Amino acid sequence: MAKDTDGAEKLGQGVKIGIFAGIAIIIVLLVVVIILLGRGQEEPQEETRRNVVVTQENAEAVAEEMVNRDYVAPGYYASKMTTTWHFSSGDAISEDAYVENDADNTNDVYFDVFLSSDESTPILESPVIPIGAKMENIALDTVLDAGTYDCIMVYHLVDEDQNTISTLRVGFTIIVEN
Q: What residue spans define the domains of the chain? A: 8-36, 77-176
Summarize the confidence of residues 111-125 as an average pLDDT: 96
User: How sure is the predictor about 136, in pLDDT bands with cuts at 50, 70 and 90?
Assistant: very high
The pLDDT value recorded for residue 173 is 97
- Starting at the earlier edge strand, list the strands of the sheet with 99-101: 79-81, 99-101, 134-135
Tell me how far apart the 2 most distant CA atoms of the chain are, in Å.
118
77-176 in CATH: which number? 2.60.40.2550
Query: What is the amino acid identity at position 178?
Result: N
Determine which of 39-48, 114-123, 150-159 has the lowest per-residue pLDDT on average: 39-48
pLDDT in tens, 97-112: 999 999 888 899 999 9
pLDDT in tens, 10-46: 777 777 888 878 888 888 877 777 777 766 555 554 5
Burial group, residue 101, by CB count within 10 angstroms (0-12, 13-18, 19+): buried
DSSP string, 33-86: HHHHHHHTPPPPPPPPP------TTTHHHHHHHHHHSPP--TT---EEE-SEEE
List Cα–Cα distances, 154 to 3, 49, 57, 119, 160, in angstroms: 93, 29, 42, 10, 19
Summarize the confidence of residues 57-68 as an average pLDDT: 76
pTM of the predicted protein model: 0.58
The pLDDT value recorded for residue 3 is 56
Higher pLDDT, 133 or 71: 133
